[in-house]
Amino acid sequence: MTASTVPDQNTRPNLPSDKPRTLDRVREKLSSKTATIAALLIAILWTLPTLGLLVSSFRTPDAVATSGWWTAFTDGGLTLDNYEAIFDPTRVYVNIGEGLLNSLAITIPGAILPLGLALLAAYAFAWIPFRGRNWIFIGIFALQIVPIQMVMVPLLRLFSSGEIFGTVVIRPLGGDSGFASIWLAHTILALPLTIFLLHNFIASLPNDLFEAARIDGAGHGQIFLRIVLPLAMPAIASIAIFQFLWVWNDLLIALVFSSSDQNPITVMLTNMVGTQGQNTFLLSAAAFISIVIPLLVFLGLQRYFVRGLLAGATKG
């Protein structure tokens, strides 16, 4: 090697500048801090109404009428009498305790039934080939655009006479059907979206798992129970939370299909607005009682919620 070709050890190699990398790190830190601050602000603004509702539910009638809820932290004036009053039907003219039990009797089956049926349908659309599969799935997906108000009358005719379009389809439920009509209504209305969301997640599972299971002699039942259900648990939990909240907070279906002794907490609160509209301290206590159970359900399933919220959004 000649002297002219020997690299000069005192000369720094021509490496890429470190400045772009430093700027990228700064941008990442700034974007992370900005996102954190924005998330905290949104959380605070979102939580303030609930905090105000909670504080107002413990305030005396005079305190509620003369000052804002935030003054309770300095002026006091707190009492438990509001919660004692809302569970006394002679004072609020509704039975809040019965409404809570009715809501549980409606919501738990109203969330489990569509979820179970949607899981079976989603697996079939994703991994069982049959003629017209894509067109049927498109039809189910299109049912999401049908407004709930448009199906009230057909569902009433179906449940009362068992017929639709003049053809007998099912046995009429009758007036002694209990909560069956409400369960069926929530199941029918929830299936399109639930099937679509679960299908996207189940269809994104690796094909190698299913091929290995088939080689080992597993049928569709074993594959569904031992592979699909465990892997789809985050998606199932997140959809279960949404469906539970939807059914628990529903008012329209409860007003149309429930009888007087089956009214859930939402109907009870509506009746309280008519009889206790001027007593906002009682309405605050009853409203906060109505959100305690959904809040506990969310907190109990929150570790699955984040993982399953965007389940099926990407494939691979």
175: domain CATH number is 1.10.3720.10
Q: What is the pLDDT averaged over residues 44-73?
A: 86
43 and 131 both lie in a single domain:
no
71 and 101 both lie in a single domain:
no
- Tens of pLDDT, residues 46-58: 888 888 888 888 8
User: Quick one: tokens of 64?
Assistant: 């509620």
User: Quick one: tokens of 255?
Assistant: 């007003």
Is 109's pLDDT higher than 90? yes
Tally of domains in the chain: 2
- Tens of pLDDT, residues 156-190: 878 777 666 665 666 666 556 678 889 989 999 99
Most confident of 28-37, 118-127, 173-182, 232-241: 118-127
121 and 43 both lie in a single domain:
no
Is 254's pLDDT higher than 80? yes
65 and 118 both lie in a single domain:
no
User: Quick one: tokens of 101?
Assistant: 């039990």
Closest among 111, 145, 140, 112 to 126, alpha carbons compared? 140
70 and 164 both lie in a single domain:
no
Question: Has residue 1 been placed in a domain?
Answer: no
State pTM to two decimals: 0.78
147 and 245 both lie in a single domain:
yes
Residue 80 CA to residue 59 CA, distance in Å, equals 8
Residue 61 CA to residue 69 CA, distance in Å, equals 12
Residue carrying structure tokens 């399953």: 308
Closest among 179, 226, 191 to 113, alpha carbons compared? 191
Is 8's pLDDT higher than 70? no
Angle at 66 between CA 60 and CA 67, to 5 degrees: 90
123 and 58 both lie in a single domain:
no
- Are 312 and 236 within 8 A, CB to CB? no
User: Quick one: tokens of 79?
Assistant: 């009492």
115 and 163 both lie in a single domain:
yes
138 and 240 both lie in a single domain:
yes
Q: Which residue has the higher pLDDT, 270 or 4?
A: 270
Q: Which range marks the domain in which residue 45 is found? A: 27-78
Q: How high does pLDDT run on average in the chain?
A: 81
167 and 43 both lie in a single domain:
no
Q: Which residue has the higher pLDDT, 275 or 49?
A: 49
Residue 172 CA to residue 3 CA, distance in Å, equals 101
